Amino acid sequence: MSFLPALLKRLAWSILLIVAVLVLNFLLIHMAPGDPADVIAGEMGGATQEILDAIRKSYGLDQPVYVQLWVYLSRAVTGDLGQSFYYNAPVLDLILGRLGPTLLLVITALLFALFIGTTLGVIASHKPNGIVSHLVTIVSIIGYAAPIFWTGLMLVILFASIIPLFPISGMYDIRLEGGMFVKALDIAHHLVLPAFTLGVVYLAQYSRLTRASMLEILGSDYIRTARAKGVSEVKVYSKHALRNAILPIVTIAGLQFGAMISGAVLVETVFSWPGLGTLAFDSILARDYPTILGILFFSAVLVIVANLTTDVIYRLVDPRVGASAK
Amino acid sequence: MARTPSQMPVAQSPQKEAWDVFRRSWLALFGLALLFTIIAVSLIGPLIYTVDPIEIVWAPLTAPGIEASVPLGTDYLGRDILAGLINGGKATLLVGISAAMITVIIGISIGAVAGYYGGLVDNLLMRITEFFQVLPPLLFAMVLVTLFSPTLPIVAIAIGVVSWPATARLARAEFIRIRNLEYVNAARSISAKDGRIIWRVILPNALPPLIVSSTLSIGIAILFEAGLSFLGLSDPNIVSWGLMIGSGREYILDAWWVVTLPGAMIFLTVLSVSLVGDGLNDAFNPKLRDR
- Residue A284, chain B, CB below 8 Å: the answer is yes
Q: What does the CA dihedral B75, B79, B80, B86 come to, rounded to 10 degrees?
A: -100
User: What is the pLDDT, as a whole number, of residue B138?
Assistant: 92
Distance from the B267 Cα atom to the nearest Cα atom in chain A, whole angstroms: 5
User: Is B138 within 8 Å of A265 when comparing Cβ atoms?
Assistant: yes
- A9: which residues sit within 8 A by CB, 6+ positions away? A1
Q: What is the DSSP letter of B250?
A: G
Percent with pLDDT over 70 in chain A = 93
pLDDT beyond 70 at A103:
yes
**DSSP string covering A273-292, please?**
-TTHHHHHHHHHHTT-HHHH
> Per residue in A299-325, is it b (16+ CB within 10 Å) or e — as a string?
bbbbbbebbbebbebebeebeeeeeee
DSSP three-state, residue B218: helix
Report pTM.
0.86
User: What is the pLDDT, as a whole number, of residue B291?
Assistant: 38
Please give the average per-residue pLDDT across B172-193, as a whole number. 87
Give the mutation candidate from B25, B38, B130, B143 for the A interface (greatest A CB count, under 10 A). B143
User: Is B134 within 8 Å of A303 when comparing Cβ atoms?
Assistant: yes
The answer to whether B138 touches A299, Cβ cutoff 8 Å, is no
A38: nearest CA partner in chain B: B147
User: Is A266 within 8 Å of B226 when comparing Cβ atoms?
Assistant: no
Which of B7-11, B166-170, B248-252 has the lowest average pLDDT?
B7-11
Residues of B in contact with A144 (CB under 8 A): 219, 270, 274
Q: What is the DSSP letter of B9?
A: P
Which of A37-46, B78-87, B142-151 has the lowest average pLDDT?
A37-46
Residues of B in contact with A31 (CB under 8 A): 147
User: What is the pLDDT, as a whole number, of residue B290?
Assistant: 41
User: What is the pLDDT, as a whole number, of residue B5?
Assistant: 52
User: What is the pLDDT, as a whole number, of residue B126?
Assistant: 93
User: What is the pLDDT, as a whole number, of residue B10?
Assistant: 56
What are the distances in angstroms from CA A133 to CA A109, A138, A155? 22, 9, 24
Distance from the A237 Cα atom to the nearest Cα atom in chain B, whole angstroms: 24
Please give the average per-residue pLDDT across B231-237, as a whole number. 87
Please give the average per-residue pLDDT across B213-231, as a whole number. 91
User: What is the pLDDT, as a whole number, of residue B287?
Assistant: 54
Cα atoms found within 13 Å of the Cα of residue B99, Cβ hemisphere only? 30
User: Is B252 within 8 Å of A266 when comparing Cβ atoms?
Assistant: no
**DSSP string covering B145-214, please?**
HHHT---HHHHHHHHHHHHHHHHHHHHHHHHHHHTTSHHHHHHHHTT--HHHIIIIIIHHHHHHHHHHHH
Distance CA B270, CA B218 (A): 8
User: What is the pLDDT, as a whole number, of residue A320?
Assistant: 65
Residues of A in contact with B140 (CB under 8 A): 296
Give the model's confidence band at B1: pLDDT under 50 very low, under 70 low, under 90 confident, else very high: very low
Nearest to A281 among B231, B253, B256 (CB): B231
Give the model's confidence band at A101: pLDDT under 50 very low, under 70 low, under 90 confident, else very high: very high
pLDDT beyond 50 at A175:
yes
**DSSP string covering B51-91, please?**
--TTSB-SSTTPPTTS-TTSTT-B-TT-BBHHHHHHHHHHH
Q: How long is chain B?
A: 291
Which residues are registered as beta bridge partners of B80? Answer: B74
B218: nearest CA partner in chain A: A145
The answer to whether B223 touches B205, Cβ cutoff 8 Å, is no
What distance lies between CA A27 and its chain's CA centroid?
Answer: 25
Model confidence over B242-274: pLDDT tens digits? 888 988 888 888 888 888 899 999 999 999 998
Model confidence over A216-269: pLDDT tens digits? 888 778 888 888 888 887 777 777 788 777 888 888 888 788 888 989 999 999
- Residue A162, chain B, CB below 8 Å: the answer is no
Closest to B219 measured CA to CA, from B135, B171, B280, B173: B280
Which of A154-163, B134-143, B267-276 has the lowest average pLDDT?
A154-163
pLDDT beyond 90 at B212:
no
